[in-house]
């Protein structure tokens, strides 16, 4: 699995069938994704699931806004619902 931060525009181009997890930034300009796809156009790539999760806790105001972050378990369990993509 690959873990990335990408722009909203790049997210429109990725293969949604390969996206296991997606979380929008608070301002909706970026997406945190877990995917089997290799995304070349990215803001950031994480080495592993733990680094990805830690980043969201360190930068919680950008991702969750309540002083927490995206837990490893949330990334593992997945969560992408195409109908809520805006």
Whether the per-residue pLDDT at 82 is higher than 90: the answer is no
Q: What tens digit of pLDDT does each residue of 4-63 get?
A: 999 999 999 999 999 999 999 999 999 999 999 999 999 999 999 999 999 999 999 999
Q: What tens digit of pLDDT does each residue of 15-28 get?
A: 999 999 999 999 99
- Decide: residue 66, CB within 10 A, 0-12 exposed, 13-18 middle, 19+ buried: exposed
pTM for the model: 0.88
What is the structure's pLDDT at 84? Answer: 47
Element (H, E) at 35: strand 30-35
Distance (Å, rounded) from C-alpha 58 to C-alpha 40?
Answer: 24
Chain-centroid distance of CA 70 in Å reads 9
Distance (Å, rounded) from C-alpha 77 to C-alpha 86?
Answer: 22
CB 28 within 8 A of CB 8: yes
Chain-centroid distance of CA 15 in Å reads 14
């Amino acid at each position: 699995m690959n873990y990335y931060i990408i722009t909203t525009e790049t997210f429109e181009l990725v293969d949604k069938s390969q996206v296991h997890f997606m979380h929008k930034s608070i301002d909706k300009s970026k997406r945190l994704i877990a995917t089997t796809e290799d995304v070349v156009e990215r803001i950031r790539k994480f080495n592993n699931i733990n680094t990805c999760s830690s980043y969201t806790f360190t930068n919680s105001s950008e991702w969750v806004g309540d002083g927490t972050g995206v837990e490893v378990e949330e990334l593992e369990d997945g969560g992408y619902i195409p109908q809520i993509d805006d």
